[in-house]
Structure 1
Amino acid sequence: MSQKTITIMTPCYNEEENVLNVYNQVREVMVGIGKYEYEHLFIDNSSQDNTVAILKMIAADDPNVKIIVNSRNFGHIRSPIHALFQSRGDCVISIVADLQDPPPMIADMIREWENGAYCVLGIKRTSEENSLMFWLRKQYYRLAERLSSIETIQNYTGFGLYDRKVVELVRSFDDPYPYFRGMIAEIGLPTVKLLYDQPARKFGITKNNWYTLYDIGMLGIINHSKVPLRLATFAGFLGAGLSFVIALGYLLAKLLFWSTFTVGVAPMIIGLFFIQSLMLVFLGIMGEYVGAIYTQLQHRPYAVELTRVNFESGFGYPKPNPVALNGITSGNPLVVAATTNIASPS
């Protein structure tokens, strides 16, 4: 029986201060385990700093490091899923480059996989991020849970181990703009959840903003729920009934107090603005669903690759010594003043 193989997958964008650190920490864990051949696949989303140059220096020393460089920034959803489908291991472990997913948990995940789990998911118990943001995220997860037609996974960001069977099932969805976390919940294979305390980012700044958070948040709702659409219908019926009752009340008041009761303009203006704002909200919700359908019909590729590095080499065992560039090891932030010419794909 051939030895099982493992792919560690790390998406990155402008992470020059972190990629060496995450590489060395992952390698240290794999050295400690010792019995698996592995590859560490970095997919770079067209970074504007020295991330690619640093990755190429690491890859030159370690053939287990594979690199995909995208031709442009394909976003925080399409690029990672492209890397997932390029992985070759019997299982894939997704871990972010900013070290907010703790690499030592990889050993625990592999142990649970050995015991028969198809998915081993990292679940945030606490976080050192901004307390308001952590609270808002928890409220979103609860809202998504209530709206969803399936049981979703709370406080789960994608950090986890996925058996090859799970990867192929995700591929079978054939979704050009996938909500990966929802797919894992949809598949429903035996899953183990490991709790962890998320550390704060030490180096660099987050690449997420309010728009990207809204994008993935709305995607998570519309992909697994028809409730927002039905709320629009219910609100229409409720508004029609309420309007009828108010109109009847005004009619009775006018008949009973003909000479003293005046309707006035203010209630009409307030009611008009309320109805119009309600219509715009639900028009926006319907637009999200239409946009999702439009994306499905376009069916564009997840990413276009500019170049690949080390894919001609196979799997191997990790080296025992850490990689150091310019005398700097993984314990410190690293900025390499280097440029690299990225060749066009042949």
Structure 2
Amino acid sequence: MVDEADQGGEARKISVVVPCYNEADNVIPMHDAITEQFAKALPGYDYDIIFIDNCSTDGTRDKLRLLCAQDERTRVILNSRNFGQFNSPFYGMCQADGDAVITICCDFQDPVDLIPKFVHAWEEGHTVVSAIKTNSDEGRVLRLLRTCYYKLIRKMSDVSQIEHFTGTGLYDQRFIQVLKDLDDPQPFLRGIVAELGPANRKDIPYRQAGRRAGKTHNSFTTLYDAAMLSFTSYTKVPLRLATIGGFVVSAITLLLAVVFLVLKLLNWNQYAAGMAPLVILVLLIGSTQTFFIGLLGEYVLTINSRTMKRPLVVEEERLNWPADRPRKGEGPRE
């Protein structure tokens, strides 16, 4: 592969977006590792590093200010509060102006040496390059649950979802423009890439390492949010099951009601006596209704959040940002 800079042309620019939250021990090593990759493996490219901080409270912001003072290629967006694991990186991608945009986690679980592989695949003509976890240091039970989830969502969705894809990868600026045009206040990047990504997408396998430092920010709540967002955004099967299940339960209860009425009219007390059948019937109906109402509530919650048209994030401050680079949806900054 020959870089444009080696041919005498203007160097193509790569923007590396690094979402972070309470990563005080990782932001400086991550910056240095990215810089080293471009110096050694991609010397013919221009680049910048965009950290988008989701309102860290552990000193991460002090480290980011230090990086900005030392390196003019480092840009920082400071969010006014924590806007979640999906909105913040998506917003950061939409602010990048590189010919290609790379996203990578700040905890070093995604190897930094993937960056040259992403760029080489991009130069081969691939508009989107996705990093796919083929193995990881996470527990076997958790990985098994993830695998089952991916297989389930693939079977239930009209869109062929990408297994073990977390969003890390490279995106050509043409695809970034697609993301900007979506105007989705609750974007699920993994599903968007699967649904709207180009046919020439390339997947690069890798082994996910453990965190370099700090504690994971994933919890049952964040994992549940991710699962529900993908289900409610890309599947109709649960709603269809709710409809079919409702019809089936209604038919069963109507049949049982007729049976009990006939038994009562025939005075077959030995069959119709007692409250146990009635209690069981009421519990069956109640539990079924509660489950499907909760399921419908998840869909309504997703619809509600999308119709509110709230901003992806609210910025508190930008650091080291060129004055001629406007925010998404705004005119040039003064």
TM-score strictly above 0.5: yes
- What stretches of structure 1 move > 3 A for 4+ residues in a row? 244-257
Q: Is the counterpart of residue 243 in structure 1 residue 253 in structure 2? A: yes
Alignment partner, residue 286 of structure 2: 276
The alpha carbon displacement at 1:100 in A equals 0.5
2:36 partner amino acid: E
CA offsets per residue over residues 269-318 of structure 1, 9 Å max, x none?
Answer: 12211211111111112112222221122111111111111112899xxx
Alignment partner, residue 299 of structure 1: 309
Q: Give the 3-state SS of the residue equivalent to 1:66 in structure 2.
A: strand
Q: Is the counterpart of residue 110 in structure 1 residue 110 in structure 2? A: no
Alignment partner, residue 327 of structure 1: none
Return the match for 2:85 from 64, 68, 76.
76
The alpha carbon displacement at 1:20 in A equals 1.2
User: Which range moved further: 284-293 or 211-220?
Assistant: 284-293
Alignment root-mean-square deviation, CA: 2.1
The question of whether the paired residues in 2 share the 8 Å contact of 1:63 and 1:313 is answered with no
TM-score by length of 1: 0.87
d(CA) in 2 for partners of 1:172 and 1:198? 32
1:11 partner amino acid: P
Alignment partner, residue 17 of structure 1: 25
2:112 partner amino acid: P
d(CA) in 1 for partners of 2:278 and 2:28? 64
The question of whether the paired residues in 1 share the 8 Å contact of 2:68 and 2:319 is answered with yes
1:201 partner amino acid: R
The question of whether the paired residues in 2 share the 8 Å contact of 1:250 and 1:263 is answered with no
d(CA) in 2 for partners of 1:259 and 1:162? 72
The question of whether the paired residues in 2 share the 8 Å contact of 1:5 and 1:38 is answered with yes
Alignment partner, residue 340 of structure 1: none
d(CA) in 1 for partners of 2:39 and 2:323? 19
2:115 partner amino acid: I
Return the match for 1:31 from 21, 35, 39.
39
Q: Is the counterpart of residue 137 in structure 1 residue 137 in structure 2? A: no
Provide the identity percentage. 37
CA offsets per residue over residues 199-255 of structure 1, 9 Å max, x none?
Answer: 111310111211111111100111111221111110011112222343455566668
2:11 partner amino acid: Q
Alignment partner, residue 339 of structure 1: none
d(CA) in 1 for partners of 2:135 and 2:266? 62
Return the match for 1:188 from 160, 185, 197.
197
d(CA) in 2 for partners of 1:164 and 1:71? 27
Q: Is the counterpart of residue 61 in structure 1 residue 98 in structure 2? A: no
d(CA) in 2 for partners of 1:259 and 1:39? 82
d(CA) in 1 for partners of 2:316 and 2:272? 72
The alpha carbon displacement at 1:156 in A equals 0.4
The alpha carbon displacement at 1:42 in A equals 0.1
TM-score by length of 2: 0.90
Q: Is the counterpart of residue 168 in structure 1 residue 170 in structure 2? A: no
The question of whether the paired residues in 1 share the 8 Å contact of 2:104 and 2:110 is answered with yes
2:226 partner amino acid: I
Alignment partner, residue 5 of structure 2: none
d(CA) in 2 for partners of 1:71 and 1:247? 58
Return the match for 1:126 from 129, 132, 135.
135
Q: Mark the runs of 5 or more structure 1 residues left unpaired by the alignment.
A: 316-344
Q: Is the counterpart of residue 205 in structure 1 residue 219 in structure 2? A: no
The question of whether the paired residues in 1 share the 8 Å contact of 2:128 and 2:197 is answered with no
Cα distance change, pair 314–10 in 1 and its aligned pair in 2 (3 A): farther
Cα distance change, pair 232–11 in 1 and its aligned pair in 2 (3 A): same
The question of whether the paired residues in 2 share the 8 Å contact of 1:19 and 1:51 is answered with yes
Q: Is the counterpart of residue 159 in structure 1 residue 168 in structure 2? A: yes
The alpha carbon displacement at 1:50 in A equals 1.0
Aligned residues: 317
Q: Give the 3-state SS of the residue equivalent to 1:260 in structure 2.
A: helix
d(CA) in 1 for partners of 2:156 and 2:162? 13
d(CA) in 2 for partners of 1:249 and 1:109? 67
The question of whether the paired residues in 1 share the 8 Å contact of 2:263 and 2:269 is answered with no
d(CA) in 1 for partners of 2:311 and 2:216? 26
Alignment partner, residue 271 of structure 2: 261
